[in-house]
Structure 1
């Protein structure tokens, strides 16, 4: 490695950018920002377990090109050999076996300039080591005694890489993560290590785990708390974690000491906790400091301002004031106000206060005591719950998610709905398995059915059912359904086809309205974009060419998706007039043949960046070999068979590819979210599809 380049090599700078010619010879960098990972640990075996995951993963994990870095060559310390790389190859990964590296000036500044610097803390680390690593890194993972399972290392690093890259969550994302009929489990164990057999049983029906730091036996030492967090993540399937330090005055057990509370809360950020509870009863200086720290260094964390009123009556006006206090002038992502219920009307009052404010963030409105249980049934979003296997409830009046969903169904707040797939032929579709897996996983009382037939009257009958909840639409009805709808989305109108029907309510009359939408284009755009970024360092807005094969409804979705990626579009179809019609509609070019001369005449180049085929697998379509020389992303919308002729050709040519089942999953996840207004359970829905379709 070029010694003078220092950390510049890791950041992927070039001679043009830095004026340092040595930097070029130190890197092999794709034309995008490199995102390396810095791991610091005093144990070589632990480093190897964590780092080997990154070394063996393609560049989409770390976002970097392969860069070999030897910290020993970077250090002027005569003991530089002790800083040797724990391995022979790194994909943008620093691994440091000694805290000597912390004295290197480049590494000292890393915590402020780098998105992912991780200290892998051990029980054997002395106080000085812990302090210096805290100053030099942004994240901490407590490994404990050094025994690390490979699966844990892989999962935790992947999670931290993704978390460190997340921008501030958009209101739409928060609305899904804290969506309707979502729950988090308030854990009340003092020591998770004593209950590892029970922890996996607690995940059913909940969307996140609340680490109640104040209820831990040892809750003031940050490394002990983070070790408990590590145990929790390992045994609960890496569900998101809500990091909560509930003080005694707020119905908790932690000392009423804001200095200790907010110092410890910062360790929740260092651990990459997905949701942070921010008590709003403390002086604003403490709260603003934590909120600022999150915004500057951990923007992906969701912040929820909270306030608990214990043992006294709260008027509606007072509740409004508390919600506004929790809102922090819009600096947080959600608000939570908990009052004490002395009569059933108190449960109504806390929700009336929140609704009258109409804040642009999700709210949680609850009441303590058994009398306040109604408030938990009425609370639509991100409700804290308990479980029968917990030693005690975290707050008076808490219920399980099953109890709450049962009462919501009885009260008509979440009645069972019927969802359908309209089309023909559809008997082999995995969609019922996918969506029913999603409903089961989230505890929703709905069911998804096939509604097969070519006569639009079949759709009209299903749409008129009082329990109709929504529908997927496929051939031949993507245009036939339009006259049966009240409105269509911008995407559906632009594409000219509907694949999703969503039930809404007229805000003025309360009447039911049917809205047509299209999620096919997202099912194409998302996996194609991911492959482009991973394989070539492509960035949106850089341009390029996409070839779309076919001229049906799926082709229109593909053209819309490629336009959204900023790509020039070329349409090829066996019926030239149809290709020309689509090309004209989406501002592209039509070709009647795929020879190099014809393609170059149409788009100025005899090469493409993306190929999207929307024709049936039975057509056995393949590309001219020359088109694969530039390694385009090849997408085939057909999913049976999984390995189509086109995908087999792409694999043989070592092109990045997307199989049709990936599109089915992505568009299905979006449909689920439109219907339910909550985050779709990807793992369960994807698993249901690939139980029926081979993954290639």
Structure 2
């Protein structure tokens, strides 16, 4: 059912407790000013403040009774009237429209009411990017020599507003590049809003929101209902001069949801099971940090350099439209708001997540955009989805208004007005979704307006024929619709119609063939028939077929929308049953692999995804045993255990850059379709997946480093964000230590230390990397250098900070009769004032002396992760290499924990 419109809008002055226009939020009982409420606690807070202060150009002088505090440079094209005549607050009649294409290094502005966590997010972004942090309130104080409240008291409201406008203009002009600007509510009175509206035409201006319960708990003023009303009333103001929107999902509110319902809320994030085993309070903001930095990385584009969370995974560099048989899990907004849905379950076997925005006409037909209350709900829903999924998000606004009357004449089905449809889409662009659909039934003017504002979002031209044309897919209307979408600049085109006869399914395949034969470049096509009779065409549509989930099937009702009626599992099963794809055989290959957990992990994942593949052991005393597997036409790939990770290199025809840098492979992929130039690339690896045939070449990759890096990123607190001065430490010098060093390099750490019992092996490891001139491929950092520490008794090198990243790659059990080393870190090496993350690669036993040592230091900010954290993480990447699909991550993590036999289980960690 549709989302209903919110209550009638009220003026700000009608909210009880909102006393004057100059107040943007009531004062907290525990703070002297609203500006102080949002002040974060961060170890580098004072340093960044001082740096901002030292770089501020402050000029002041007195002239008679009139006081002039600054002489700002003009901010061009911002104000249309004198400062003295500006009104406050400004309510803009139309939403801000901007291209969302920003210049390199453009400053990022954060706005929002107190209690949303805005200032903490500003500190997180500054620390992650190295950008200078500018606080608007402090800037005003630096320029004028007094706080806003003091200035207003001494000089009066009129002069304060004039001075505030001049300070704001100066701040934006002088800090337009390379900064994170935290604008408090007090800095946005009167003309400040118009200044930011102009600034947002060329810079990211992000509106930060949060749920009313969390805001009220933070500021300890008003009650929750009053906070909610204030959010509804202030929303249009903030949206009027911002071009992006981020809803800060509260950790506290998620926990209360779990307690209330008695089960774990999947919205807490996919990594809750690992992090719940640590008691450190320093990870409180970890998921918020991940969500926000991911949002900024996607929305700001080239204006900011941030590593995206999935950059290390094999599929991350491959556009989704270049992969065969991908599916989008389609979920209506109304279901999200009315029911508790396990989002991670909904997305676990899909390749994208489509949010169908089914909102009522009256909720989105206003001149100033979507109804504020509904806008907040959509914003929170999008943030909730992103916290739980790793796949791309598709934002789809449904065209027709609901009618549950079967047999309704299609000409009578109500259609969303131009204004309402435009408002819903423009609101969606504020979240910077990966994809956004535009309905091709609207005019070129409306569609061009959306496409010109897309920023980093990719546009899907969409059209659903309510009644099939007389000639079905042979009708010229289809080609005309496709060509129009291409002319408008759509990145993909999606066309559908209800299936009337089985012939319609064959007709759509002929249309696919016609589009494939068009001259390149042309947009990829998504085309299928809807309804039960059209399921066959959905199975064979190559990319982003909308699918549903069993928990949603009973609630889906529509006589006017192409609601999916099959699941991704059913679609994949049909492909293999019809012999379009072949079941493959995968292996874990090594000298001692019979106790590996990988077969259980992969086989469970294959079954969940509808893939009839088999993953089993293959133990061999020599590397030559691999030849037996490669001769099998159904060989799909192999994981490699010790001691063959380095020995396999001479047998490979090509390797990934990562495996080449490490000098070892743990994954072998068969190549059955060689490129015309004979050069095997990462794209080649994903061609002809699940297709049997003779193997023409072997490709090697390494996913060990991916598993390690993702564990490190998950466990590294925001206070320990990687900086040029950060250091890492690796214990050991074997094959896993090689991958460990590489993972730390890819974190962006420039100084890495290695300790090994045999110093010569540590020196060889250091030489291996120092000669390569490696640095993080996704960040602008200098060359990484590997140093050797020769003795555990040595103090930590005086010229380097204590390590905040530690990986131990030495066995913690007896080897060849040698007793377990019982290793712990020297106390003089773990004196980082903010703690750090320690990754123990061994898991026999699971609670090694090192893990126990570091978990005892959790109160000092140390997080300890074990080998069972790394195994599924590297397995996710292997799953992608083997199948070409995203892995069901939560399921794979769960099966590893379930199958692990513990200390007495005789599990050999060398097997994986």
TM (norm. structure 1) is 0.74
Residues 205-246 of structure 1 deviation map (CA, whole Å, 9 limit, x = unaligned):
545554443586876463475577568997999557633224
Where does 1:504-523 land on structure 2 (aligned, <5 Å)? 504-507=671-674, 512=695, 513-523=697-707
Aligned equivalent of 1:16, options 37, 44, 54? 54
Residue equivalent to 2:790: 593
Stretch moving more, 364-373 or 489-498: 364-373
In the alignment, the residues of structure 2 paired with residue 302 and residue 681 of structure 1 have an alpha-carbon distance, to the nearest angstrom, of: 25
In the alignment, the residues of structure 1 paired with residue 193 and residue 846 of structure 2 have an alpha-carbon distance, to the nearest angstrom, of: 47
Residues 476, 501 of structure 1: CA spacing in aligned structure 2 closer, same or farther, 3 A cutoff?
A: same
Displacement of 1:383: 0.8
Residues 71-115 of structure 1 deviation map (CA, whole Å, 9 limit, x = unaligned):
9x85688999xxxxxxxxxxx99999xx99964766886784643
Displacement of 1:476: 1.7
8 A contact 1:419–1:471 mirrored in 2: yes
Displacement of 1:188: 6.8
Displacement of 1:415: 3.1
Residues 157, 521 of structure 1: CA spacing in aligned structure 2 closer, same or farther, 3 A cutoff?
A: closer
Displacement of 1:497: 1.2
Where does 1:474-513 land on structure 2 (aligned, <5 Å)? 474-482=641-649, 484-507=651-674, 512=695, 513=697
Displacement of 1:434: 3.2
8 A contact 2:125–2:293 mirrored in 1: no
Residues 638, 289 of structure 1: CA spacing in aligned structure 2 closer, same or farther, 3 A cutoff?
A: farther
Residues 299-319 of structure 1 deviation map (CA, whole Å, 9 limit, x = unaligned):
4x5543334466334569986
Aligned equivalent of 1:242, options 369, 387, 394? 394
Displacement of 1:192: 6.6
Residues 368-404 of structure 1 deviation map (CA, whole Å, 9 limit, x = unaligned):
5777544322223321124642444642885443432
1:259 partnered with 2:419: yes
Aligned equivalent of 1:573, options 747, 751, 756? 756
Stretch moving more, 396-405 or 185-194: 185-194
Displacement of 1:627: 1.9
Aligned equivalent of 2:826, options 598, 621, 624? 624
1:548 partnered with 2:548: no
Where does 1:679-690 land on structure 2 (aligned, <5 Å)? 679-690=886-897
Residues 679, 330 of structure 1: CA spacing in aligned structure 2 closer, same or farther, 3 A cutoff?
A: farther
Residues 261, 561 of structure 1: CA spacing in aligned structure 2 closer, same or farther, 3 A cutoff?
A: same
Residue equivalent to 1:350: 511
8 A contact 1:181–1:678 mirrored in 2: no
Aligned equivalent of 1:306, options 447, 462, 471? 462
SS in 1 for 2:538: helix
In the alignment, the residues of structure 2 paired with residue 200 and residue 616 of structure 1 have an alpha-carbon distance, to the nearest angstrom, of: 34
How many residues are treated as equivalent by the alignment?
651
In the alignment, the residues of structure 1 paired with residue 496 and residue 739 of structure 2 have an alpha-carbon distance, to the nearest angstrom, of: 46
Aligned equivalent of 2:494, options 320, 324, 336? 336
In the alignment, the residues of structure 2 paired with residue 311 and residue 620 of structure 1 have an alpha-carbon distance, to the nearest angstrom, of: 72
Which structure has more RCO (C-alpha within 8 Å, separation ≥ 6)?
Answer: 2
Displacement of 1:692: 5.5
Aligned equivalent of 2:256, options 147, 150, 156? 150
In the alignment, the residues of structure 1 paired with residue 894 and residue 786 of structure 2 have an alpha-carbon distance, to the nearest angstrom, of: 38
Aligned equivalent of 2:209, options 98, 118, 130? 118
Residues 124-181 of structure 1 deviation map (CA, whole Å, 9 limit, x = unaligned):
56985453353366438799xxx99834896797786355323258994673599654
Aligned equivalent of 1:645, options 831, 842, 849? 849
Residues 236, 107 of structure 1: CA spacing in aligned structure 2 closer, same or farther, 3 A cutoff?
A: closer
SS in 1 for 2:642: coil
Residues 667, 266 of structure 1: CA spacing in aligned structure 2 closer, same or farther, 3 A cutoff?
A: same
8 A contact 1:177–1:679 mirrored in 2: no
In the alignment, the residues of structure 1 paired with residue 901 and residue 430 of structure 2 have an alpha-carbon distance, to the nearest angstrom, of: 39
TM (norm. structure 2) is 0.58
Residues 314-345 of structure 1 deviation map (CA, whole Å, 9 limit, x = unaligned):
5699867755654578774x443446876454
8 A contact 2:731–2:808 mirrored in 1: yes
SS in 2 for 1:684: helix
Where does 1:348-387 land on structure 2 (aligned, <5 Å)? 348-356=509-517, 363-367=525-529, 373-386=535-548
In the alignment, the residues of structure 2 paired with residue 397 and residue 606 of structure 1 have an alpha-carbon distance, to the nearest angstrom, of: 55
Residue equivalent to 2:720: 536
1:166 partnered with 2:297: yes
In the alignment, the residues of structure 2 paired with residue 317 and residue 501 of structure 1 have an alpha-carbon distance, to the nearest angstrom, of: 47
Displacement of 1:637: 1.9
In the alignment, the residues of structure 2 paired with residue 650 and residue 365 of structure 1 have an alpha-carbon distance, to the nearest angstrom, of: 54
Residues 142, 206 of structure 1: CA spacing in aligned structure 2 closer, same or farther, 3 A cutoff?
A: same
Aligned equivalent of 1:279, options 424, 439, 458? 439
8 A contact 1:669–1:682 mirrored in 2: yes
Stretch moving more, 668-677 or 510-519: 510-519
Residues 45-79 of structure 1 deviation map (CA, whole Å, 9 limit, x = unaligned):
xx6xx769x999x96999799x99999x8568899
Residues 163, 321 of structure 1: CA spacing in aligned structure 2 closer, same or farther, 3 A cutoff?
A: farther
Residue equivalent to 1:557: 739
SS in 2 for 1:478: helix
Residues 61, 508 of structure 1: CA spacing in aligned structure 2 closer, same or farther, 3 A cutoff?
A: closer
Displacement of 1:292: 4.2
Residues 197, 646 of structure 1: CA spacing in aligned structure 2 closer, same or farther, 3 A cutoff?
A: closer
SS in 2 for 1:278: strand
8 A contact 1:163–1:272 mirrored in 2: no
Residue equivalent to 2:577: 410
SS in 2 for 1:449: strand
Residues 528-553 of structure 1 deviation map (CA, whole Å, 9 limit, x = unaligned):
356567333423xx265544332322
In the alignment, the residues of structure 2 paired with residue 202 and residue 590 of structure 1 have an alpha-carbon distance, to the nearest angstrom, of: 46
Displacement of 1:475: 0.9
Stretch moving more, 134-143 or 381-390: 134-143
SS in 1 for 2:791: coil
1:389 partnered with 2:586: no
In the alignment, the residues of structure 2 paired with residue 101 and residue 68 of structure 1 have an alpha-carbon distance, to the nearest angstrom, of: 6
RMSD: 5.5
Point out where structure 2 has 5 or more consecutive residues left out of the alignment. Answer: 1-30, 41-47, 60-105, 141-146, 158-179, 213-224, 258-264, 270-286, 302-307, 402-409, 677-692, 771-784, 814-820, 903-912
SS in 2 for 1:349: helix
